[in-house]
Chain A
Amino acid sequence: MIPIPAELSAYRDITLTVNGRDHRVRVEPRTLLVDAIRDLVGLTGTHIGCDSTSCGACTVLLDDRPAKSCTVLAVQAEGSRVRTVESLAEPGVLHPLQRAFEDEFAFQCGYCTAGMLMSGLALYERDAPPGPDEIRRALVGNLCRCTGYEPIVAAIAKAIGDRASRPEDAEVRR
């Protein structure tokens, strides 16, 4: 084994801004963002499906762009705004995307769902609404083994369509 230099193995305290709240957490330089979110911030809605940048179960928004949190170091996320699936619903009220996922039966086991919703959210918040093909292409980094994708694509398209037709929904929470 290659010995880890002491300065690299030291713990450090960082501030992670997750869903609008600051969390002071102690991490190693090698601590992955997904582990920090799940184990240190305590939000387990973000999942790990491959730990190798392939499945998208760990997708969060990092400064409004989808990022695979298994491939970002926690220390790299300091100073960025992290948003996770837990940010979507208000108490008792689902986000329009979540509603569309429910209406379209766009989840089965639900393990990929957080990542799908966050990739979907990035599309939902785009100024120019994407069409179904664009949605499909935007989801290639998110694997689902249960649904065959079409219900997910339909749900995202529906939420985006509803938003375009109902301007009051267009106001986007950040």
Chain B
Amino acid sequence: MTTVHDRTRLTGRSLPRTRDREVLCGEGTYVGDVRLPGMLHATFYRSPHAHARITRLSLAKALDLPGVVLGLTADDLRDRVHDMKPFPFQSRDPFRGGNPAIKFADRVGLAQGKVRYVGEPVALIVAENRYVAEDALELVEAEYELLAPVLDAETGAGEDAPLLYEDWDDNVTLRFDVSGGDVDTAFADADVVVERTLRHHRFSGTPIEPRGVVARYDEAANALTVWTSSQIAHAVGVLLENSIKADKRVSVRVVTPRVGGGFGQKWGFYPEELVVPVGAMLAGRPVRWIETRREHMLATNHAREQTHHVSMALRRDGTILGLRDRIYADLGDAYPVGGLASIVTTPMFVPGAYRIENYEAHLFGVATNKTPFGAHRGFGKSEAAFCIERMMDEAARVLGLDPVAVRMRNFIPPEDFPYVCATGSRYDSGNYPGAMTRLVELLDYEGWRERQQAARAEGRLIGIGTILAIEPSSSTRMGSYNNGYYSVRVAMDPAGQVVVATGGSDEGQGHSTTIAQLVGDELGIDPEAVRVVEGDTDHTPYGSGSYSSRFSVVGTSAVTLASRKLAEKVRRIAAHLLEANVDDVDLVDGRASVRGTAGDSPETAVAVHDVARVAYHRIHDLPPEEEPGLELIYHYRDPNVDFPADERGRVAMFSSFPYSADGAVVEVDPETGQVKILSYVSVHDCGNHLNPKIVEGQHLGALAHGLGGALFEQFTYAPDGQPLNRQFREYLVPTAADMPPLTLEHIITPNPFTPGGYKGAGETGTVTPVPCLANAVEDAVRPAGGRIDRLPLTPRNVWTQLHREHAND
């Protein structure tokens, strides 16, 4: 297994992202930069109420405003669209065993009859320019009969809760149960049972580029071109083709130009992605809609909000015997978006990095009158990590053991990989004790434990938190649009220049550089000769887009194996030209040369671009059985997933298991509850590194994301369902000055199932800071009787734990 990269290879080196230079020069095209002749501008009139019946809706006055071209409500859409096709699950029974069981609400993209969250799109206004379109919003006349909002998943699941969908018998949108082993016996045998209720708060990725859609309809061709800031160009295209009602099916091309950050928030089929194209068809002119930040906070998916009622059965020595969890996920409006898939992931991975064979979880996904719950970097695993890693500390406290020691006792040992966990996944590789040992050293864990004692004596609140969290990556889901394969087309033109087109997409990960590295190695050519095309359904093979760190796992494998296959053809042709054995031909430095020779004469070497010329322009020189051309399409199927689920819900949905052992030392201000991070260490294992600087950037960026989520990012609601966080002023994300001192280190256990050994680098860091800082803060406030059962760790929440007489839970 390669763990150290060969110096002569491109992979494993930090090639700079020179081909993204346009970004530095302000020349990159994002959806908001698309300019089309005659383009109109759209705005959405959105629900001002959390839960209400629409008793009157009129666009008449808005349409009278000079410059307004078109207005649409749900009534106008009914003949023009089918019910929006759900995403990512395609049916109510995706695993075909009734588990999970899902309810979908049919909808057309604009509210029909009722509104169910503040920000829900109710009407579309299209005008000559954005200023007029915004003015027109104030002229929309709507009257509502207010209904009691559902704002809590657990009470919302009950019989007495108001119903969001009146034809449903309750608000439970998704039910899922999963189990392994014999949980009852495990609990009966336990010396100790530790129980706790843990609440994960609502936050999201909030990319700096909001969403946006530009659509143009070409009537003669019956074709739509849609530019959208999305991670899944192909899926949006197909969902649109299936959703637009027309005599003849409309053909759709989707272009995702540069995308200014995705983080899961752009993984979905949003109402605007349906309604804006319909608007363009009706207006007969291109229409553009660019989300405002306020709209983004209200109408782009949130994530994470879950309550776990968890109990852990242990032996006195800290060995975990069994685990039970009952999970309520607050899905917001029961919109068929990524949240359904995200929450199913949580119960799969609550056991985390530990050998917990007896396990059961019951999941209730509940519709509430909040923004829909969608995908978000860390996708359901963040909530699982928060739960198990809080419980590990709690178990240690109850048993009077050291939290690091309890973890060490229960880790899946390195020699057990590949390890099939209680819920059916096959963990690819890892060295959890090794990572934890290194963390303890780097953090100076023992030293801080001593300093903590001294500080406590002075009345200072120092806390230490250590965790190890997994971030299962590269998912595939039966019955959904995220299938575990990656598609790549590789073509070398007659001049030897290579174009790689993939069904994935780039939201900043630098694929144009990393793909060139992979291809350059296989074809032995200069990476400058490789150009990458993604995010255009007309110019790339159908594919599932970007999410779940899948580029690292299935993406790199597809690119490598596709170019390897192309390289074989190059070598076969070269061998024929050189009259050599194909097995003796190597591709190095742009030449196909015979091994064991200097490769410096026409008899022993031929330039790769000359081979390409032969393949297209001198086909009489090809080996007789060889087809002309140098182009192929390749589909790589994930080797480490299994379907369908068994009768206990067990299934292998994720194929690689990056993880990180993180540790933090914090000091809590007893007066204000403010948390100060004194030290933060992360020991990360994402397998081999394709481009180390990019890997480091992904992990650092993810950590910033997780730190924000742990410390201050949150979406909250007033008792009437009004959202309280509508701008970055009210939804605080980390700034440059908020970044704590960070120590990052990598250890490498390669993924044994893929050619490159990569596991996925961009998500683990979003998962780890939340439990790590929660543990550290609890460690700090525990002597004062405080507990950390809810997030984020804002001064207010922490202060409340220091003054529990004020706590209301």
Contact = CB atoms under 8 A, between A and B. Distances in A.
B189 to A, nearest CB: 45
Nearest to A89: B25
Interface string A20-61: 000000001011000100100001111111111011010000
B207 A102 contact: no
Interface string B213-251: 000000000000000000000000000000000000000
Given A43-B26, A49-B293, A145-B205, A1 B736 contact: no
B210 A49 contact: yes
A57 B208 contact: yes
Nearest to B265: A145
B664 to A, nearest CB: 15
Contact of A108 (B16, B701, B729): B701
A45 B735 CA distance: 22
A52 B293 contact: yes
A109 interface: yes
B129 to A, nearest CB: 8
B704 A148 contact: yes
Contact of A54 (B210, B292, B727, B739): B727
Contact of B138 (A1, A55, A139): A1
B280 interface: no
Nearest to A108: B508
Contacts of B693: 105
Interface in A82-116: 84-86, 88-89, 94, 98, 101-103, 105, 107-114
Contact of B25 (A45, A48, A57, A103): A45
B697 A105 contact: yes
Contacts of A140: 735-737
Nearest to B293: A50
Nearest to B261: A109
Nearest to A139: B736
B505 to A, nearest CB: 12
Nearest to B510: A108
Interface in B318-372: none
B669 interface: no
Nearest to A98: B24
A51 B703 CA distance: 26
A107 B704 contact: no
A144 interface: yes
Interface in B8-29: 14, 16-18, 20-21, 23-29
Interface string A98-137: 1001110101111111100100000000000000000111
A152 interface: yes
Contacts of B739: 136, 148-150
A105 B14 CA distance: 10
B208 A111 contact: yes
B694 A105 contact: yes
B260 interface: yes
A43 B25 CA distance: 11
B524 to A, nearest CB: 26
B697 A111 contact: no
Nearest to B297: A50
Contacts of B508: 107-110, 146
Given A52-B727, A98-B24, A147 B697 contact: yes
A136 B16 contact: no
A109 B139 CA distance: 37
Most B CB within 10 A of own CB, among A43, A102, A141: A102
Contacts of B728: 50, 52, 54-55, 143
Most B CB within 10 A of own CB, among A103, A117, A140, A146: A146
A67 B421 CA distance: 54
A94 B740 CA distance: 31
B305 interface: no
B541 interface: no
Given A52-B727, A107-B24, A47 B138 contact: no
Given A86-B26, A151-B700, A51 B292 contact: yes
Nearest to A151: B697
A98 B258 CA distance: 19
A117 B734 CA distance: 19
Q: Categorize the interface residue count of chain A.
A: 35 or more
B213 to A, nearest CB: 15
Q: Categorize the interface residue count of chain B.
A: 35 or more
B245 to A, nearest CB: 34
B206 interface: yes
Contact of A109 (B27, B259, B290, B700): B259
A107 B513 CA distance: 13
Given A47-B260, A54-B293, A140-B737, A146 B17 contact: no
Most B CB within 10 A of own CB, among A98, A103, A140, A148: A148
Given A52-B729, A151-B697, A107 B23 contact: yes
Nearest to B26: A45
A153 interface: yes
B168 interface: no
A113 B727 contact: no
B311 to A, nearest CB: 36
B32 interface: yes
A52 B290 CA distance: 15
A69 interface: no
B16 A137 contact: no
A109 B260 contact: yes
Contacts of A88: 24-26
B23 A113 contact: yes
B46 interface: no
Contacts of A84: 26
Contacts of B263: 145
A147 B25 contact: no
A51 B293 contact: yes
B736 to A, nearest CB: 4
Given A105-B693, A105-B694, A108-B509, A145 B737 contact: no
B356 to A, nearest CB: 32
B26 to A, nearest CB: 2
Nearest to A52: B727
Interface string B26-62: 1111101100000000000000000000000000000
A22 to B, nearest CB: 20
B25 A145 contact: no
Nearest to B729: A54
B733 interface: yes
B729 A49 contact: no
A102 B737 CA distance: 22
Contacts of B210: 49
A152 B704 CA distance: 13
B737 A136 contact: yes
Contacts of B294: 52
B729 to A, nearest CB: 6
B27 A45 contact: yes
A116 to B, nearest CB: 9
Nearest to B696: A105
B16 A146 contact: no
Contacts of B417: none
Nearest to B506: A109
Given A143-B735, A145-B263, A102 B24 contact: yes
B23 A110 contact: yes
A50 B703 CA distance: 23
B643 interface: no
Nearest to A114: B26
A149 B28 contact: no
B382 to A, nearest CB: 16
Contact of B209 (A43, A49, A135, A149): A49
6 contacts: A38-B33, A45-B26, A111-B258, A145-B205, A146-B508, A150-B742
* Shortest beta-carbon contacts, A-B, top 9: A45-B26, A111-B260, A109-B508, A110-B23, A108-B508, A54-B728, A148-B704, A85-B26, A148-B700
Given A55-B293, A148-B701, 19 more contacts: A28-B131, A44-B33, A49-B260, A50-B293, A50-B728, A51-B293, A52-B294, A57-B208, A98-B21, A107-B20, A107-B508, A110-B28, A112-B208, A136-B736, A137-B736, A137-B737, A145-B733, A150-B742, A151-B697
